[in-house]
Amino acid sequence: MEPLPRGMDLKEWQLRKIRFDIPGMNWTDRKFRVLYFYNPQTHTVVLARAYTHAEFEGRPSDEEIRAAYDEARLASSS
């Protein structure tokens, strides 16, 4: 599990990351990551961000993660 962004209190959700190494690409491009929210009670997954280390040295900023969660909530409520 990944730590939730500061100030984000989501008791029923966990932030998780899947790591992939894509062969045949340069070092930073092949470090592909998928960051997602997971609700273990409902087995629901909400994509937060897919990225490579060429885009972000670490993970996306807390603001970007919050915005992805808010956008997914809006999309699921319409």
Please report which confidence band the pLDDT of residue 28 belongs to, taking 50, 70 and 90 as the band edges. Answer: low
Task: Write the single-letter amino acid at 49.
Answer: R
If one counts the domains in the chain, the total is 1
**Distance separating alpha carbons of residues 28 and 30, to the nearest angstrom:** 6
Average pLDDT estimate for 7-35: 85
Query: What are the respective helix, strand and coil percentages of the chain, to the nearest 5?
Result: 25, 35, 40
Within-domain flag for 56: yes
Within-domain flag for 24: yes
- pLDDT at residue 70 greater than cutoff 70: yes
Within-domain flag for 42: yes
Within-domain flag for 64: yes
Within-domain flag for 22: yes
pTM of the model: 0.81
Within-domain flag for 9: no
Average pLDDT estimate for 15-44: 87
- CB-based contacts of 72, cutoff 8 Å, min separation 6: 37, 46, 47, 48
